[in-house]
Amino acid sequence: MRRRFILYAASVGLLVPLLAFGGEAAKTGVVKGAITVNGRPTSDAVVSVAGLPKKQLKTQDSKLKTSKAVVDQRNVKFIPRVLPVLVGTTVEFPNNDKTWHNVYSKSEAKEFDLGLYPAGETRSVTFDKPGVVRILCNVHPSMEAFIVVKDHPYFTTPDQRGNYTLNRVPLGQRRLEVWHPEFGTRVVPFNLVREGEVLSVNVDLAKK
């Protein structure tokens, strides 16, 4: 399952270098850093770029392809706990536990109920609206996950050490948005000036 998720993330990352704005290749840079909580790394976050002009983002619409992703159910947990996807992505929810599950959400961005299903069965949902979707299980109240749906490909999740990298970010004054289930959204402005510039932006979510 992890391999399928990595392949999905890689395919999203490959979209960005293909984008062109105004008929010419955009001049870009790299934003990277670490996401921490009181100095400790966290991977339960989504790091994305905001502030891109809508006329630039419109150019992407015809280039973005819908994909598939997976949220596994194993050891009475959702894995991964936090998953960012593009609008239009279909997420599969395989039951790899020895018990029944009932995956559902009451979120504004996507409300659904997959019903009760046994081990070995997979059901899926297509996420067609941007926003944060909280995923729960009617059978196991402790199970919780979050699907963060984006309408552009400039997003990623930190690794186990809290490190993230956003490649091919168009130059200019932008905003780094870091979303976390417990801390909400933290916004950090940044400015990429030179093509090929590598800008370091570290965020500790527990510090103001």
Domain locations in the chain? 2-204
What's the DSSP call for residue 205? T
Q: Using the predicted structure, report yes or no on whether residue 59 has a pLDDT greater than 90.
A: no
What pLDDT was estimated at residue 10?
A: 40
Residues 25-58: tens digit of each pLDDT = 679 999 999 999 999 999 999 999 998 887 666 5
Separation between Cα atoms, residue 7 and residue 77, nearest integer Å: 22
Strands 20-21 and 24-25 come out as antiparallel
Pairwise pLDDT comparison (139 vs 1), residue with the higher score: 139
Query: What does the pLDDT average to over 143-150?
Result: 98
Instruction: Record the pTM.
Output: 0.84
What pLDDT was estimated at residue 64?
A: 60
Residues 7-16: tens digit of each pLDDT = 444 444 434 4
Q: Using the predicted structure, report yes or no on whether residue 103 has a pLDDT greater than 70.
A: yes
**CATH placement of domain 2-204:** 2.60.40.420
Closest to 96 measured CA to CA, from 114, 133, 70: 70
What pLDDT was estimated at residue 14?
A: 37
- In the block, tokens 């029944």 appear at 100
What pLDDT was estimated at residue 162?
A: 98
State residue 18 phi and psi, 5-degree precision.
-85, -10
